[in-house]
Amino acid sequence: MRSGSPSAPAASAPAPTPLRDEPLLGPPIDAARYRLGPGDVLILALPGVLDESAILVVDAEGGLVLPGSAGRLEVAGLTLESARQAVGKALAALVRERPFALSLREPRRFKVYVVGAVANPGAYAASPVTRASEVIERAGGIVPGGSQRNVRVLRADSLELRADLVAFAQLGDTDKNPLLEGGDMVRVPPRGEEMAVFGGVASPGIYEFVAGETVASAVALAGGLVPGAQLDQAWVSHPGPDEYRYDRTIETAIRPSAALAPGDALVVPVIRDFGAIHRVEVSGEVMFPGTYPIQPGVDTVAQVLRRAGGLTPAANLAGARLLRAVTQPPGPALPASQAPDGAGWERGLEAPEGTSIADGSLAANEAGAAAGFAGPQPGPSIFSDLPRTAREVGLMGRNRDEREVLVAWLADPNADSTRVVDGDRLHVPRAEGRVRVDGRVRSPGWVPFTRGREVEQYVALAGGYDRHADRSQVLVQRAGRPAQAERAREARPIQDGDTIWVPERAPRSRWAIVRETVAFVAQVATVVIVVDQVTNR
């Protein structure tokens, strides 16, 4: 072959064989209910008489041509079970007490018509195992405004069946989705009148009404009752004199068998928290981090810790946090006699045993929330008017979506009586053995933590104050608590993971400097005059 000449064509792959549109079978066919018709394919096994199984097809006139001299047998309209008995009698001379088997090998296929509110009306292939919903799907489905509960199946013998596709989809009721026969016409009418089911059901909403609807069938259609639903207290609103007004005519004790009418609205009261699983997430240095069920407003932090296996040796008690979403409604209010540590919780004046509250109303209010009391909302920080570095502003801006309830564990955490509510997050950080010194110091960063060291000693480890530091306004931010700060001179002992903030001195304006200079000069002048007068005397 010359270079550059076209190469011989490669052998083409055989074209894929088109798949035959076979009917998809569901559960085994019931021989007592399946009726034979033209096109059904049967298989006959007759050991000792026939060398191979015989394939028998119901002809267009509804008959079977049997092997040997048995002749032709009419089977159209017979059930498969009845056809077996008829074939056994017809083959009696051949069978002679021998066992034989007649089974359905392949269901017949026939034509049905789909009309009305579907995307593509027309004729479609079906089989005796095809249901009404399947040919509707082949016709492109029901268009908006079409009925799903009043679909009609019209038979050649004038028999009419109703298909309720919503009940079939919701409840799995196959009787509401009939099997088809040859020549059936499936008609989808426009959507009819409506009813409503609201309250304690799985799928509340507006449903198409069908004749014979009852309270029980409407509840079932809406997915059934949810935990806490009070069906014995359900009531129905009937349409009033005009379509925009409802009269509450049935108040209580409505029977499940009570009939509904078009336009009715069934309301089932529900206790929202009935049977709900309330939970707390525990993370960090506990033996078994995870989510644990609780009884909100009753269970305590100590109980939750025990469920999580207790603390690990590396736990940082001072940095432990209990967070509650700001959008979380307060827990159930408890009488003052049941409040931890006695009265005073409504005012946010006391902390649970085993906790320590920082100075200021913010921490007190957050601690009060731990027992489920709704006190005044946290106000601005008492340090909000101080000048801050960019890092300080960023740190103080965190913790917006959650409110901290537990401030710190300075005693035994396993005795903490702080109440927990649904959705709380308890986090116990790992002890890091360091303290951060930030702001106006010569070498900001982490320095080693040693229990008992003072603030000034940590500042010295960070290189000391720089010339812009405001030494009178040094703050301490507790481990993992960007929104909580204490004045250094009033702060509790420094703990592992704490941050010491050294703010920047507030810059003075030029006018303030001029004013102070003038005042200073005036004072000096006054002193000079006084001294001069004393000297001249």
pLDDT of the residue at 339: 35
C-alpha to C-alpha distance for 466 and 14, rounded to whole angstroms: 85
Per-residue HEC secondary structure of 410-432 comes to CCCHHHCCCECCCCCEEEECECC
Q: pLDDT, tens digit, for every residue of 430-453?
A: 888 898 898 899 989 889 988 889
Farthest CA pair distance, the chain:
163
Alpha carbon distance 445, 290 (integer Å): 33
Quick one: tokens of 201?
A: 């059901």
User: Does residue 334 surpass a pLDDT of 90?
Assistant: no
CA-angle at 81, arms to 80 and 83, nearest 5°: 65
pLDDT, the chain, mean = 74
Report the C-alpha gap between 471 and 482 in whole angstroms: 21
Q: Which of 82-96, 402-416, 493-507 has the least mean pLDDT? A: 402-416
Domains of the chain: 41-106 (3.30.1950.10), 110-188 (3.10.560.10), 194-268 (3.10.560), 278-428 (no CATH)
The pLDDT assigned to 341 comes to: 33
Predicted confidence band at 380 (pLDDT cuts at 50, 70, 90)?
very low
**Predicted local distance difference test score (pLDDT) of residue 342:** 28
Query: d(Cα 201, Cα 269) in Å, to the nearest integer?
Result: 9
Contact yes or no for 473/381 (Cβ under 8 A):
no
pLDDT digits (tens, 9 = 90+) for 54-97: 899 998 888 898 887 778 899 988 999 999 888 888 887 776 76
Pick the more confident residue, 168 or 248. 168
C-alpha angle 403-407-408 in degrees, rounded to nearest 5: 150
Contact 427, 312 (CB under 8 A): no
DSSP structure string for 28-44: PP-TTTPBP-TT-EEEE
376-379: long-range contacts (C-beta < 8 A, 24 or more apart)?
376/348, 378/403
Q: How far is CA 126 from the centre of its chain?
A: 40
Least confident range from 163-172, 470-479, 483-492, 517-526: namely: 517-526
Confidence label for 243 from pLDDT (cuts 50, 70 and 90): low
Query: Is it the case that residue 529 has pLDDT exceeding 60?
Result: no
Full-model pTM: 0.49
- Type of residue at 459: V
